[in-house]
């Protein structure tokens, strides 16, 4: 149990709660809040020694953010 | 890592996460997300994963730019 593990759990729980109960109920705010638990999960995965999994997770999170932004523009419902 | 440095970087990451969760302005949320990233990156460097640190610190601003595009479109 090192510091990054506990900190990752705290940030993950905080981020999940902030995505579930987002205060300005907009897609953009929810998408920005969705990046908080991703960093918490990254800190949890750091406690296990898998460098390739960490790199893949970071890359896939960025790609999914890009896809969701394009989807929001395509739906024209980004408000 | 030194224990005091762990506490300081952990507090920076927690402050970024809390302010990104609680603030209402999307631009302020993005700035707070940058603070969260800057608090989480020293833990990656501490474990010795410099390649992961390079990838994360290159990709995090790029995804911020993508979200900034959506924020600008939502504001107008």
Query: A51-63: per-residue pLDDT in tens?
Result: 899 999 999 999 9
The owner of tokens 């302005």 is B25
Query: A23-45: per-residue pLDDT in tens?
Result: 888 888 999 999 999 999 999 99
Chain B: nearest CA to A36, how far in angstroms?
Answer: 6
Q: What was the ipTM of the complex prediction?
A: 0.88
Count of domains for chain B: 1
| CA-based nearest residue in chain B for residue A60 | B59
Query: B55-70: per-residue pLDDT in tens?
Result: 999 999 999 999 998 8
- Residues in chain A within 8 Å Cβ distance of B33: 32, 35-36
Domain limits at B20? 3-75
The owner of tokens 């992961």 is B52
pTM of the model: 0.89
Query: B12-47: per-residue pLDDT in tens?
Result: 999 999 999 999 999 999 999 999 999 999 999 998
Whether A7 contacts chain B with CB within 8 A: yes
Of B26, B37, B70, the CB nearest to A69: B70
CA-CA distance, B72 to B76, in Å (whole number)?
A: 7
DSSP-assigned letter for residue A24:
S
Structure tokens that stand for B48 in this block: 């010795």
Query: A8-23: per-residue pLDDT in tens?
Result: 999 999 999 999 998 8
Whether A45 contacts chain B with CB within 8 A: no
The owner of tokens 């995505």 is A19
pLDDT of residue A78: 45
């Amino acid at each position: 149990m090192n510091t990054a593990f506990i900190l990752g759990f705290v940030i993950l729980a905080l981020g999940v709660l902030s995505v579930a109960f987002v205060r300005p109920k907009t897609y953009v705010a929810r998408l920005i809040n969705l990046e908080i638990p991703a960093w918490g999960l990254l800190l949890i995965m750091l406690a296990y020694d898998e460098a390739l999994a960490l790199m893949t997770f970071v890359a896939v999170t960025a790609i999914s953010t890009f896809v969701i932004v394009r989807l929001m523009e395509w739906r024209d419902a980004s408000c | 890592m030194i224990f005091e440095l762990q506490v300081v970087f952990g507090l920076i990451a927690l402050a970024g996460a809390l302010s990104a969760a609680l603030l209402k302005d999307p631009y302020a949320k993005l700035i707070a997300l940058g603070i969260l990233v800057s608090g989480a990156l020293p833990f990656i460097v501490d474990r010795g994963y410099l390649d992961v640190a390079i990838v994360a610190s290159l990709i995090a601003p790029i995804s911020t730019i993508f979200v900034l595009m959506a924020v600008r479109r939502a504001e107008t």
